[in-house]
Amino acid sequence: MITIKEATTKSELTDYIKFPFYLYKDNEFWVPPIIADELESFDKTKNPAFENAEAYFYIAYKGKDIVGRIAAIINWSEVNNQQKKKVRFGWFDVIDDIEVTKALLEKVYELGRKNNLEHVEGPMGFSNLDKVGVLTEGFDQLGTMITWYNHPYYAKHFEQLDYVTEKEYIESKFPFENVKPEFFEKANDLVKRRYQLSPLNFKTTKEVMPHVDKMFDLFNASYASLSSFVAISDTQKEYFKKKYISLINPEYIKFVEDKDHNIVAFSIVMPSFSKALQKAKGKLFPFGFIHLLKAKNQSKDMIFYLIGVHPDFQNKAVTAIIFNEYYNTFTEKGVINCFRTPELADNIAVHNLWKHFKPEVHCRRKTFRKEL
């Protein structure tokens, strides 16, 4: 018999977070989160995503054993401002039992019907900066801290339940040795002169902070045209600034500004924390933070997390300036591999940014949709 229970207390939410640790305990490719960080993300008093979203966290039991979990989510900005009558689901993990999957998804349907929504989509988080998609290819590839990993049967469960593909994403990688200066040096010089642009580099987090709000404003502007985009609020900007910016090496944050010091492009790259997180096993203490600090300072694998260009400067080769700056920094740091986070498979403009580096698609993922 399958029992579904909502997780509301700290103890129950901790069980909810720890279930994948059991499900993937012998899997060398799964990257665990930091438990305390996940708890904070689910705390309605701390995570500003809950200003415009509501979420309910459910655990599936067989007897006393946990056999699955799911989050049922409504992003009200998406529903009210974009008129997308959608209920989301995320943080989905389950044993290979389709009856458990059906029971968990029923809680999502209940929330959607209660609020007169029309379809369900997932897996996805509260906003565009959360993890997205169920892995469909690349099960033998090490995950990252900003993607979900899952067993191959997840997608099969959705297909058996008459879900259809809503969005497809790809993840690619390339060795840094594929990056040749001739790809961007000439364009870098030309674009800087033509548009009176200059790169902005940083040595300390303190130097970065005064520019972060402008960066998030540019993020909203540069991604606004995407059909799935929900803008980041002012409160979320403050939250992300305090929570994440200090964790990012300042030398891996690059801005491009015009003659009036307006930011027209930005990029954030992060060292890979995957192996460090595996060693930390969900805990910062007593030794987890040491593994993370070592990865921050010594990792030779880089994750291109975000890149954005103001609409007025798109298709003007402004990214040549960013690539030139990263080339210099990566050469100095001895970087070996570069990885891209999930990109919409039909976002040809983004794919074209990387084509000269001969990227290899190593993972694919999807979100699935079903009408209510």
Chosen domain end from 128, 152, 171: 171
CB atoms within 10 A of CB 346: 11
According to the model, what pLDDT value does residue 11 have? 97
Which is more confident, 267 or 239?
A: 267
Indicate if 220 and 241 belong to the same structural domain: yes
Cα maximum dimension of the chain: 69
Indicate if 56 and 199 belong to the same structural domain: no
Beta bridge partners of 306: 268
Distance CA 113, CA 85 (A): 10
Could you say which DSSP state residue 199 is in? E
Is 70 exceeded by the pLDDT of residue 228? no
Indicate if 10 and 156 belong to the same structural domain: yes
Indicate if 185 and 156 belong to the same structural domain: no
Residues 125-153 have pLDDT tens digits of 998 779 999 999 999 999 999 999 999 99
Is 70 exceeded by the pLDDT of residue 331? yes
How many independent structural domains does the chain possess?
2
Distance CA 11, CA 41 (A): 15
Indicate if 142 and 208 belong to the same structural domain: no
Indicate if 127 and 214 belong to the same structural domain: no
Closest CA to 271 of 326, 321, 335, 353: 335
Environment class of 116 (CB within 10 Å of its CB; exposed 0-12, middle 13-18, buried 19+): exposed
Is 70 exceeded by the pLDDT of residue 287? yes
**pLDDT category, 229, cuts 50, 70, 90?**
confident
Indicate if 118 and 219 belong to the same structural domain: no
Sequence-ordered list of residues with C-beta below 8 angstroms from that of 126, at least 6 positions apart, any chain:
47, 49, 50, 53, 55, 73, 75, 90
Give the domain range for residue 58: 2-171
Is 119 part of a structural domain of the chain?
A: yes
According to the model, what pLDDT value does residue 118 have? 98
Indicate if 31 and 157 belong to the same structural domain: yes
CATH number of the domain to which 99 belongs: 3.40.630.30
Closest CA to 248 of 227, 267, 226, 221: 267
Residues 63-111 have pLDDT tens digits of 999 999 999 999 999 999 889 999 999 999 999 999 999 999 999 999 9
Is 90 exceeded by the pLDDT of residue 181? yes
Is 70 exceeded by the pLDDT of residue 262? yes
Rounded to 5 degrees, what angle do the CA atoms 64, 65, 71 make? 110
Indicate if 264 and 278 belong to the same structural domain: yes
**pLDDT category, 232, cuts 50, 70, 90?**
confident
Is 9 part of a structural domain of the chain?
A: yes
Closest CA to 42 of 18, 62, 24: 18
Indicate if 148 and 214 belong to the same structural domain: no
Residues 307-316 have pLDDT tens digits of 999 999 998 9
Indicate if 182 and 204 belong to the same structural domain: yes
According to the model, what pLDDT value does residue 205 have? 93
Is 371 part of a structural domain of the chain?
A: no
Average of pLDDT values for 267-278? 96
State percent of the chain over pLDDT 70: 99
Chosen domain end from 171, 203, 237: 171
Is 80 exceeded by the pLDDT of residue 271? yes
Indicate if 209 and 351 belong to the same structural domain: yes
Average pLDDT, the chain: 94
Is 121 part of a structural domain of the chain?
A: yes
Is 70 exceeded by the pLDDT of residue 349? yes
How big, in percent rounded to 5, are the helix, strand and coil portions of the chain? 40, 25, 30
